[in-house]
Every structure is written in structure tokens, then in C-alpha cells.
Structure 1
Amino acid sequence: MLVTGLPRSGTSWVGRMLTAGGELVYVNEPLNPQHPPGRCPGVLDAQVTHRFQYICDDNSDHWLPPFRDTVALRYHWLAELRANRSPYDLARLLRYGTAFTLGRLTGRRALLDDPFAVLSAGWFARRLGCRVIALVRDPVSFVASWQRLGWSVDVRELLEQPLLVRDHPEVLELRHLPEDRVAGAAALWRVTRSVLERTQGILLTPYEALAADPVPGFRRLYAYAGLRWTPAAERRIIRACCGPTTGRGGGGFAWSGLSRTAYRRMDSRAAIAHGPRGLSDQEAARVRALTGT
């Protein structure tokens, strides 16, 4: 299955909560062009050239075989060793190689947590048979998060993909962005939301609704994904989402140190209360106007 949505929309959190039942193997951002977490041929034996890499039927010959291996939990040990040999890379190789092998032997499924697959979500549902959960965050909170991190939209990553522009012409709106981060992030949110709303075979999920009431929300996502909702999974989700954010005692998940983008324990209700931090009232109003929300 695939959990996607724009970066900073909660995909790592949702992915980790879905693994609480023990039926999934977590795979972090195989389409991220930055190493780490991407450019790891052991996980995905294909060359990623752009952020928000667009995959469709017209370029399936390149993407379908490697992704079939990934979702089947077939790890490419030799390809990974040829490409990445630093101590960090070797630790990651052992972690993923072992997880893939044990997962395949015990009948687990792969869970891809990948924001960079958001514009290709329909292909994953249609060609790979993935259950796709697409997270959508409130635009003000989303833009505020990007602003705090100093992130900006590189329009070239999108416009240099002819198939993407052909299938989703609203991407062309990004050609005339004002030169400021707030407007760029708001425009990316608007374009992505438009694409997702007409993509068939995916489940659009509001981040804020899930964070406000995580237990029934995740129960619904488990049912959608075909996962068993067990008392153990519920306990882990409650500990991970509804407890204090300080310290590690009693947390639902251990922090491995091998992934810089993975889930950290939090109080999900408190997280949504602090979402707009980083934007002035005027900037928040501007985001609302730019996104029509």
C-alpha cells in the first residue's frame, strides 16, 4: 500500500501508525531523489531524476518492474552494495534487507511512505494494486510548516516532466509564481489538491480530522487497507498519539536513528493546535485567498 501527500502532511506519522498491527513493512520515501532516504537501489532499483517524479502508463516500462520488486519485498543486496557503502548506508542495508526478507517470509505487505509519489497516486492504485491513502493538510498549516523549514518550490522539477504537464495541465499555473515562499507553497498545495480530487482509486484523508480523533480515524484506515484492528494496535496508537510529547518512556515506537524523516512520537491533538505557527495573520489570510479555502 501507499501513504502519500505533500511533504509535511503527516505521511510518516500515518505510515508508522498503520504498521502498529504488525502486518506491514515500512518503506521510507523510495522516490525521494536525495540520498538518504532515496537513491537506494536495494529498495528501488530505478533512477529517480525529479522530486515528484511522475509515473504513468506511458513510462511504466521503466517503473513497473522495480516497483513490483519493492512491493513484493525483494531486496537488491548487490545493487545496494555497489551504490552505497558508507557506514550509514551499510546499517541501512542491513535494516532494510533484513526487514524485506523477514517480511516476505512471514507474509507481510510493503507500506510505501512517499510524499514524492503524490502526483502519481493513480498509477500506484491502478497498476500496482496499492491501497492508496492521500493525506491533505489544511493549507495554512501546510504553508506555515514549509515556511518554518525555509523550504521553497522548485518549479523546474515539475515543468521539466512533459508527461506530468500533459496529464495535469494545472501544473502550468506554477510558471508565473511570485518570488516568495508563501505563494509558492500555497500554489503547490492548490495544484496538488486539484490533481488528487480527480484521481480515482485513492482515499483522500484530512490530516487535521485524523489528528483530532486518531483512534476511530485509524480504525477506518485499517479497514480501508485490509488490516486487522487488534487491541495491541489500538494500545500502540493511543500511546503514540495521545500521550505526552516529552521523553520516550511508554512510547509506541522506538526511534532507530537511521531515518531522518520518520515518525516521532507526539500528541496529535496538540500538533494541530500549533499548525499555523510561523505565519502572520496577514500571511495566513493570503494563503486562504490563494488556495480558495
Structure 2
Amino acid sequence: MRAWHSRLRKAGRQLLAHGLPAPRPGHRVAVVGLPRSGTSWLAKALSLGPGVSYYFEPDVLLPANPLYRYLPPEADEPVLERALADHLDGRAVDEYVIAEQGLRELLARPRARIVLVKWVRTGLMLEWIGACFPGLSLVQIVRHPVPLFLSWRQRGWDPEFNLRQLLSQRALMAGPLAPFADTMCHAVGFWEQAAAFWGAMTWMQYRAHRPPWLLVEHEWICLDAEPRIRLLAGLLGLPVGDGLAQFLSPRRNRVSGPGYGRARDPAAEVYKWQDAVTAVELDSVAGVLEVFGLPFYPGLEPDRFEVPGSLSARGSQGSRTSTSSNMGS
């Protein structure tokens, strides 16, 4: 009986979504980052404002081979460009994509003037996206590699498979990732492969960053969540919803419904992983990441924010800053 109810509910939602007019957005915002990097939490918080229509991972509808596809900025990909334009116009209404929308949000879609999307598979095509959609407001989120891949391991996700998705792309490995090809090819075991994949994806994300896009560490947001999400919303041109404080509260009563998981203390999330890995495993991660020369998380400390160009490095909210970078362009 419950299965039939679920099927009928999904069918009804699809009829409603396809039957109503799509939004007519005057403003488009994208949240991008690796899976399990805090994109869902941040995007949900940003979506709570009035007039915002939110679409959860419409890039899942794109061809999955390779899962993370590299595109240089000059690439001519009209089919993909039209698909992403549909995402940004709120026209992707697969049930998975609109899962964060309840009945109220679905009925409000035609009146929405802001479309917010969350992408987790576009990290290697951000330069191309910037060239195709120059007016797009975009926030790039990075999470510390250790808790990110502990979450992957809990779900049975294999970093080796994802690393091989990068190694299989000749243009990527002979081009921007050529300096790291040897390290990526010779990574063995869960943590070396995880570090190699994270290093490559984060290097590409940092390389693609350009003003006025926002680059921010997940942990920096978590340590003072409400004012920093309000700051992000303002910089992205998003209204702040009345329910933001309640959504972020570790004592909130609402733990079900579109986009609502278990309540948690955002600040506690920053450190809770530290007893879950050994010193040997941390050394393994650090050894691989040293090759990439990334300025994120010096010494693998989760509360050090010294990335030039990031929101935390602007001196906002009292964070520490740095004036130099190991990154090339």
C-alpha cells in the first residue's frame, strides 16, 4: 500500500510540475562542489528565501560517461549548453531534481524570479560554464578531504573509480592536469586515491575561479553558520528566508520534508572526524596533496583558511588571511 502511495504521489507531482509554467528568472545562481562537500546543506539554506525556485542536482540527467567531464573554455558543445540553460531556467523537472520542492514550492514555481541550482558533476567544466553563462552567479564550495571521503566510504563510494574517470580523459591529463599525472596514476589504496582525486578536482576548481564568483570552505561557513550564510546570500543577490535560523538550529523539531535531514550543530561538524582516521592515513593524504601545492587547509587543519581569492580570506568575520598562492593559472 505504501509503495502504491509513493508512486501515485510522484506521478501527481510530475503532472503538476509539467503542467504549470516554468519560472521566468531574472537571476540565476549555482552552487557547485564535489558530492558530500556541503552543497546540499548550503543550497537548501540559500533556497529558503521568497521567490527562489531550487533544483537539486539536475546534472544527474547529463550523460554519465565520464562522470566528471572536462571541457576547455573554447569547447563547442551546443547540446550540453542547451541542457544547462534548461537547468538555469528551471525547466528540469525530473522527480529527483525537484525532490527538494514541496507542494507549496511547486505551486510557486511560475512566480519565481530566481532559479537556484546545485551541481556536483560540473567541476571540470567551470571555465566553459563561465564562458557560456557570463551572467551566472556562482558559489564554489570546498570541503576538507578527510571528512568528505569518510562520508564517501560510509556510502560505499570508491575514489579509485572516480580517479580513473579523470585519468581516462586524454585532453585533461595531457592538458591542465599533466603536472600531476604521475602522482594520480601511482596512487594506491583508499586514502592516496581519495587525496589524488580531491587534489585534482580542487586544483581545477581553484584554477577556474574568477570574480565575481564566490569561493568558500565548508568549514568556514559551519563555524559561524547563520551570519556567513546571510553574507553569502547577500553577495549572491538572494533574499534570506525567515526559516534560516530554524533550519540551521541543532534543536530544530523539523527533521523531515524536502531538504530536511537530521538536525545537527554545524560547528561540531568541523572537528568530529578527527578520531576516525590514523596518523598514518593522514600522512598518506598529506603526502599526495603536497604535490598539488594547494593552499587549502594548511597542515590538514580544518579551521585554517588561507586561500587567496576565497571569501574567508577577505578578512570577513575575523578569519585568518594569506597573501600568496601556489596556484598557477
Bin for the TM-score computed over the shorter chain: 0.7 to 0.9
Q: Which residue of 1 aligns with 2:54?
A: 26
CA distance in 1, matches of 2:182, 2:121: 19
Q: Which residue of 1 aligns with 2:173?
A: 165
Contact 1:28-1:112 at 8 Å conserved across structures: yes
- Secondary structure of the residue aligned to 1:151 is coil
Q: Do structure 1's residue 134 and structure 2's residue 124 form an aligned pair?
A: no
What does 1:62-81 align with in structure 2 at a 5 Å threshold?
A: 62-75=79-92
1:219 and 1:125, CA in 2 relative to 1: closer, same or farther beyond 3 A?
A: farther
CA distance in 1, matches of 2:207, 2:157: 27
Determine which structure has more spread, i.e. the larger CA radius of gyration. 2
Q: Which residue of 2 aligns with 1:268?
A: 266
Deviation at 1:17, TM superposition (A): 0.5
Which consecutive residues of structure 1, in runs of 5 or more, have no partner in the other structure? Answer: 32-37, 40-45, 81-88
1:274 and 1:91, CA in 2 relative to 1: closer, same or farther beyond 3 A?
A: closer
Deviation at 1:14, TM superposition (A): 0.5
The code of the aligned residue for 1:145 comes to S
What does 1:1-293 align with in structure 2 at a 5 Å threshold?
A: 1-31=29-59, 38-39=60-61, 47-56=63-72, 57-75=74-92, 102-103=108-109, 105-128=110-133, 129-153=135-159, 154=161, 155-165=163-173, 167-170=175-178, 172-173=181-182, 175-201=184-210, 202-229=213-240, 232=242, 236-244=243-251, 249=253, 251=254, 254-256=256-258, 264-292=262-290, 293=298
Contact 2:58-2:92 at 8 Å conserved across structures: no
1:167 and 1:223, CA in 2 relative to 1: closer, same or farther beyond 3 A?
A: farther
Deviation at 1:24, TM superposition (A): 2.3
The code of the aligned residue for 1:255 comes to G
- Secondary structure of the residue aligned to 1:133 is strand
CA distance in 2, matches of 1:227, 1:112: 13
Residue identity (%): 22
The code of the aligned residue for 2:246 comes to R
CA distance in 2, matches of 1:151, 1:222: 31
The RMSD of aligned alpha carbons is 3.2
The code of the aligned residue for 1:124 comes to I
Provide Cα deviations, 1:230-263, integer angstroms capped at 9, x if missing partner.
5x1xxx222222323xxx62x3x7424xx8xx85
CA distance in 1, matches of 2:114, 2:150: 34
Provide Cα deviations, 1:40-74, integer angstroms capped at 9, x if missing partner.
xxxxxx54432112344314212111221221123
Provide Cα deviations, 1:72-96, integer angstroms capped at 9, x if missing partner.
12357xxx6xxxxxxxx69969x69
Contact 2:57-2:120 at 8 Å conserved across structures: yes
Deviation at 1:285, TM superposition (A): 2.9
The code of the aligned residue for 2:43 comes to G
- Secondary structure of the residue aligned to 1:54 is coil
1:276 and 1:243, CA in 2 relative to 1: closer, same or farther beyond 3 A?
A: same
Deviation at 1:100, TM superposition (A): 6.9
The code of the aligned residue for 1:18 comes to L
Provide Cα deviations, 1:138-164, integer angstroms capped at 9, x if missing partner.
223223333333322223322333443
Higher helix fraction (1 or 2): 1
TM-score normalised by L of structure 2: 0.67
1:282 and 1:75, CA in 2 relative to 1: closer, same or farther beyond 3 A?
A: closer
CA distance in 1, matches of 2:175, 2:57: 23
- Secondary structure of the residue aligned to 1:123 is helix
Q: Which residue of 2 aligns with 1:86?
A: none
Report 1 or 2 for greater relative contact order, CA contacts < 8 Å, sequence distance ≥ 6. 1
Which consecutive residues of structure 2, in runs of 5 or more, have no partner in the other structure? Answer: 1-28, 291-297, 299-329
1:215 and 1:183, CA in 2 relative to 1: closer, same or farther beyond 3 A?
A: same
Contact 2:177-2:200 at 8 Å conserved across structures: no
1:149 and 1:174, CA in 2 relative to 1: closer, same or farther beyond 3 A?
A: farther
CA distance in 1, matches of 2:119, 2:155: 19
1:208 and 1:175, CA in 2 relative to 1: closer, same or farther beyond 3 A?
A: closer
